[in-house]
Structure 1
Amino acid sequence: MTRLSICIATFKRANYIAETLESIVPQLSDEVELVVLDGASPDHTAEVVAGFAARSPHVRYIREPINSGIDADFDKVVRHARGTHCWLFSDDDVIVPGAIARVLTELAASDPDLLVVDAEVRDKDLRTLFEPRRFRFSGRRAYGAGDGDALLADLGDALSFIGCVIVRRSLWLERERERYYGTLFIHVGVLLQAPLEHAVALGEPLVRIRIGNAMWTARGFHIWMFLWPELIWSFADFSAAAKARVVPREPWRQPQKLLVWRAYGVYDRGEFEARLAALTTTGESRWMRAIARLPGRCAHVAVVALLTARGHARASSVYQLVEGSRFSSSISRVVAQFGGFGQGARDDG
């Protein structure tokens, strides 16, 4: 019997997916399969995955004729899976040695509807460790149908990363899914649309998240200011206080957040007119327009300086801003280094 299917939906990640698969394939067994669904990648993803399929009979590769988007592709790969549980995994991160065995042990012991595992946050080369964990706790926590607020408060932020999620396949298939196509977080929609009878969180970092290579940066303002909060606040079975622990209902009303997105180069006058102008008061529109008009390189240097000054907890934010902004410059890099860029991080290489 296949107990666990590791399900990857991929698109144009040939330069990273080999490292992901290398971390998984040696841990496969008769109980565990790896299913890779390729959304019609135009690069050499097929050749990369074929090499791993030749090494292991537990690897299956499915290539779609067209790209249907990340949500639909994850839905498809779960439907192709054969395991009782599916580990929804990303195509550029890695699992740590022994992670699959640890997950199998928990599945055998508690048979949860949902298992969420902790993760480290590292740079795009996976050498520098920025955050040793994403959970605010260590150890094991269990949640029943009446513990929705506790689950959301503890795990809501972590659930934005799909690679931490192991879900019972039958639960996935019996819940609404197409409603969440286009949200970019179909797994959150499936998991939180109704109470979960039995969920478990393991405060053990079993995944290494790679940051600094996100494909979503250009759409970041729309995703994190609108799509993500709208999704979290759409769930009826959670209190406003629990939802607010994850994300404010309208984060775009916070000047500091707009300033950060201006520094990334994805909030500008066009975004203001397209997304905010019709939603704001006259007073709000003045400062929102002012931020949108700030010179990008100046905004970038200012935000980098402010974030580095906050020290350890912001090191990953500074790294992503320096690596991901179109306004990044030699000046902002010097400011980041002078202000403590990477402070609190360590190089494991």
Structure 2
Amino acid sequence: MIQLSICIPTYNFGKFIGLTLDSLLPQVCSGVEVIVLDGGSIDDTADVVSIRQREYPMLTYHHQNFRGGIDRDIEKVVSMAQGQYCWLFSADDIMLPGAVNKILEAIKSNYDVYICEHVLCNLKMDPIRKHPPFNKMSGSRLFNLGEASQRKEYFRSARTSEAFFSFLSGPIFKKTIWDSASIPESFRDTCWIVAGHLLSMVSKGLTVNYLGETLLHKRGENDSFSDRGMVNRYRIAIEAFHHVGNSLFGKFSEEAFHIRRVLQLDIPVRYLMLAKLRATENQDREGIKVLNRLVIMHYADPSLSNWMKYALYKTAFPFTIKMYLDFKKLWRKT
């Protein structure tokens, strides 16, 4: 019987996936499988994986000759899993020693979802800082999100969108819970299919065990959602995640409000001002229009803080933004 399926969707990550597999395969024991779904890579991903398959028979590799998109590839690799629980894992992250055993021990309690922490790193995997998904929460905590008071505490305590399952490698979930989720087709074009599946089960009484332990290093500066530019990246983060939250809980619900709140923390106004500068420098008028619409959406909830941030974005001229960035670089050097 397979207890845990480590599921890795990938596309053209041949230069990263070898290190990822090397970090987790030596930890794999009886009752654990590793599945790599290659969404049509044209690099050396297949060769990198096949080398590891010779030593680790529990590693399986599936290559499809088309790009299904991240949402559909995630659903497909989970559908291949035979484990009671699935741990979706990014093809460029590094699993820390002992992580698999800790998860195997944790899932004996049979809750629906387990959330681990990670250390944020740069592209070279030099550690930068811890990145906890909750505020002022130390040690393990259990929440039944079907119970109103516990759901309020969970949503109010969220520090980043990772509390709402935005980070691929963060949650470990029961496969039957995933399979039971009924989601609209529109979620499969958001890049947030994991959040869609798991958040859709909140009303059913989803039990979430926050482990409070760091089990992996996350590679930064390698955001595959940025391949079509910064403005489109923020469209995915803001517009698409709003769509998931508003569809599941209602636009004026407290749950959707807290999803919007943490997105503002994930994407501060200085990021949006930088995007405005870049779009202006590239004479991307359409990009500026899209960005302006996203900023209105981002700060739509009425508050003095939101009004001030929107006003700062709106009134900042590109040359003043550039002066600020140049000064910041100079200050860092000194």
Q: Residue 222 of structure 2 aligns with which residue?
A: 213
Q: Residue 170 of structure 1 aligns with which residue?
A: 176
Alignment of 1:100-249 (within 5 A): 100-108=100-108, 110-131=109-130, 133-136=132-135, 137-144=137-144, 145-146=146-147, 147-155=150-158, 157-158=161-162, 159-177=165-183, 178-195=185-202, 196-217=205-226, 218=229, 219-236=232-249, 240-248=253-261
Q: Residue 299 of structure 1 aligns with which residue?
A: 321
Q: Residue 313 of structure 1 aligns with which residue?
A: none
Q: Report the secondary structure of 1:142's partner residue.
A: strand
Q: Letter of the 2:152 partner, please give it.
A: D
Asked if 1:271 corresponds to 2:290, the answer is no
Q: Deviations over 1:275-332 (max 9, x none)?
A: 6469969x999986665x615xx635624756xxxxxxxxxxxxxxxxxxxxxxxxx4
Q: Report the secondary structure of 1:34's partner residue.
A: strand
Q: Letter of the 1:220 partner, please give it.
A: R
Deviation, structure 1 residue 135: 3.7
After superposition, the Cα gap between the structure-2 partners of 1:300 and 1:165, relative to the gap in structure 1 and judged at 3 Å, is farther
Deviation, structure 1 residue 232: 2.6
Q: Could you tell me whether the CA contact under 8 Å between 1:89 and 1:162 is conserved in 2?
A: yes
Q: Could you tell me whether the CA contact under 8 Å between 2:10 and 2:36 is conserved in 1?
A: yes
Q: Letter of the 2:247 partner, please give it.
A: S
Deviation, structure 1 residue 212: 1.1
Q: Report the secondary structure of 2:66's partner residue.
A: coil
Deviation, structure 1 residue 131: 2.6
Q: Letter of the 1:273 partner, please give it.
A: K
Query: TM-score, normalised on structure 1?
Result: 0.77
After superposition, the Cα gap between the structure-2 partners of 1:215 and 1:337, relative to the gap in structure 1 and judged at 3 Å, is farther
Unaligned runs of 5+ in 2: 298-306
Q: Deviations over 1:102-147 (max 9, x none)?
A: 0110101x11111111111111111233236444322111111213
Q: Could you tell me whether the CA contact under 8 Å between 2:8 and 2:37 is conserved in 1?
A: yes
Q: How high is the sequence identity, in percent, across the aligned residues?
A: 24
State the distance in 1 between where 2:139 and 2:79 align: 32
Q: Structure 1 stretch 240-249 or stretch 176-185: which is displaced more?
A: 240-249
Q: Report the secondary structure of 1:162's partner residue.
A: coil
Q: Letter of the 1:272 partner, please give it.
A: I
State the distance in 1 between where 2:58 and 2:27 align: 10
Deviation, structure 1 residue 85: 0.5
State the distance in 2 between where 1:250 and 1:116 align: 19
Q: Deviations over 1:33-84 (max 9, x none)?
A: 1000000001010001111111101101011120110000000000001101
Q: Letter of the 2:182 partner, please give it.
A: E
After superposition, the Cα gap between the structure-2 partners of 1:273 and 1:148, relative to the gap in structure 1 and judged at 3 Å, is same
Q: Report the secondary structure of 1:227's partner residue.
A: helix
* Equivalent pairs, count: 307
Query: TM-score, normalised on structure 2?
Result: 0.80
Q: Residue 24 of structure 2 aligns with which residue?
A: 24
